[in-house]
Amino acid sequence: MTKNSATQKNRAALLCRLLRRFYDKDWVSGTGGGICAATGPKTVLMAPTGVHKEEVRPSDLFVVDRMTGGVIRPPRNRSLAVSECNPIFCLIMTQRKVGSVMHSHALSAVLAADLSEDRDHFIIEGLEMLKGVRGVSNQAKHAVPVIRNTPRERELVDQIRRALEAPVFSESFCILVRNHGAYIWGEDLWEAKRHAEIYHFLFEAVVARSRRGRNGWGQI
């Protein structure tokens, strides 16, 4: 086994392990959500669409071209199709130069996006856990973009590109999709996992505080 294939094998096992953990947290239930992981500058592992995420095995994963989203190696089971998130995952990895993106269908993400009402973002502040986002201090007013949902996942691409390009959101490793969930990323699987835990904590915190009429979110 070459070093590359060993790395790819380990990464595939870790990706599946994180999917099971995300399932246990109710972030990827009902076959929703997912995660991808780069295995080199040009290749990325991606789960199939429409499968129970906690049941995904390494042999179910696709190897996808990180630039084009084209399938380089499908899994043995030819009835599987690659994740609907494919173009979004590739866009975020390219634009933000990161190696892993997760997609959450958590209720806390939906309820946090609800708090933004008709604005294109919301601000998180006054929480130590902000320090868990790379480069962010606990004194920050952290702006997270919120975009509208669309009938098909791939139709989110234009709004996501604009959010990624907006200087005001340059510190965010997360995009909230109204009525839907969130995309959260990091340099590798472990940072994406840490950011996922941090942002979901922040969502739950702002939702809980808003119930008490406390200002933990707002406008830029």
171: annotated active-site residue: no
What are residue 172's phi and psi, to 5 degrees? -85, 135
Q: Which is nearer to a copy of itself, 121 or 195 (CB)?
A: 195
Chain position carrying tokens 């995009």: 175
C-beta of 18: minimal distance to a copy of itself in Å? 11
User: What are the residues facing 144 on neighbouring strands?
Assistant: 122
Determine if 17 is a binding residue for a copy of itself (CB under 8 A). Answer: no
Contact between residue 85 and residue 19 where contact means Cβ atoms under 8 Å apart: no
Rounded to an integer, what distance in angstroms lies between the CA atom of residue 15 and that of residue 90? 16
* 6 half-sphere exposure, CB direction, 13 A CA radius: 3
> Which tokens in the block code for residue 21?
């953990």
Among 29, 43, 49, 95, binds a copy of itself (CB under 8 A): 29
* 118 half-sphere exposure, CB direction, 13 A CA radius: 0
> Which tokens in the block code for residue 130?
């902000």
Per-residue CA distances from 138 to 95, 124, 211 (Å): 26, 10, 22
Q: Which is nearer to a copy of itself, 28 or 163 (CB)?
A: 28
C-beta of 4: minimal distance to a copy of itself in Å? 22
Determine if 58 is a binding residue for a copy of itself (CB under 8 A). Answer: no
Determine if 10 is a binding residue for a copy of itself (CB under 8 A). Answer: no
Contact segment (CB under 8 A) with a copy of itself among 68-76, 94-102, 131-139, 157-165 equals 131-139
Rounded to an integer, what distance in angstroms lies between the CA atom of residue 37 and that of residue 131? 23
Determine if 32 is a binding residue for a copy of itself (CB under 8 A). Answer: yes
The footprint of a copy of itself on this chain (CB under 8 A) covers a number of residues equal to 39
C-beta of 66: minimal distance to a copy of itself in Å? 25
Among 60, 71, 74, 114, binds a copy of itself (CB under 8 A): 114
> Scanning residues 156 to 195, which ones bind a copy of itself (CB under 8 A)?
177, 179-181, 190, 193-195
Catalytic residue numbers? 128
